[in-house]
Structure 1
Amino acid sequence: MHWLWVIIVGLVVGVIAKMLKPGKDPGGFIITISLGIAGSFLSTYVGEKLGWWGETGLVHFLGSIAGAIVLLLIYHLLTRRSTT
């Protein structure tokens, strides 16, 4: 059940990351949502393994947003280089 919440939080985080980093995305809204889910998974795994936060809480949610934004920035850097 914990990982189902990670996916749901990832959907919300993807939307928030898109609002925080506006602009034209090469992949569109679906890629942004997917990166939000991936960021949520990544920050959940790393944060829990390093003992930064538990399974739930505000810090976990903020970490998921940060993970999604980092993945979104990496995605933009990779797609910008490949199109030029």
Structure 2
Amino acid sequence: MNILAWVVLGLLAGAIAKAIYPGHQGGGLLGTMILGIVGAFIGGTVATLLETGTLAIGAASLSIPGVFVAVLGAILAIFIYNKLSRRAY
């Protein structure tokens, strides 16, 4: 996939994931794009694992199912980030 497709997929998936996930996520436009790109890699890897049973790094494509997988991966990334960044009181 070319760079423009990664930017579009990242912005789209990151914005949808931030809208779905409860609470406030900062980061601005660049943070949203990076979140979506990371979500595409996480979602693509999990989808490959579920389809083939092997762990291989993959990425979602710029298509309707690809955006869906990228959004799920971005939601998972937000969840993991929130769990790791919380302070223990």
> Is the structural similarity TM-score above 0.5?
yes
Point out where structure 2 has 5 or more consecutive residues left out of the alignment: 53-59
What is the rounded CA distance, in whole Å, between the counterparts of 2:9 and 2:62 in structure 1?
Answer: 10
Partner of 1:58: 64
Point out where structure 1 has 5 or more consecutive residues left out of the alignment: none
Alignment of 1:1-84 (within 5 A): 2-4=1-3, 5-25=5-25, 28-30=26-28, 32-33=31-32, 34-44=34-44, 46=45, 47=47, 55-80=61-86, 82=87, 84=89
CA RMSD of aligned residues (A): 2.8
Question: Any conservation in 2 of the 1:7–1:40 contact (CA below 8 Å)?
Answer: no
Q: How many residues align?
A: 77
Gap change, CA 1:56 and 1:48, over 3 Å in 2:
farther
Quote the sequence identity (%): 27
Structure 1 or 2: more helix by fraction: 1
What is the rounded CA distance, in whole Å, between the counterparts of 1:8 and 1:60 in structure 2?
Answer: 12
Partner SS, residue 23 of structure 1: coil
Under a length normalisation based on structure 2, what TM-score does the superposition of the two structures give?
A: 0.65
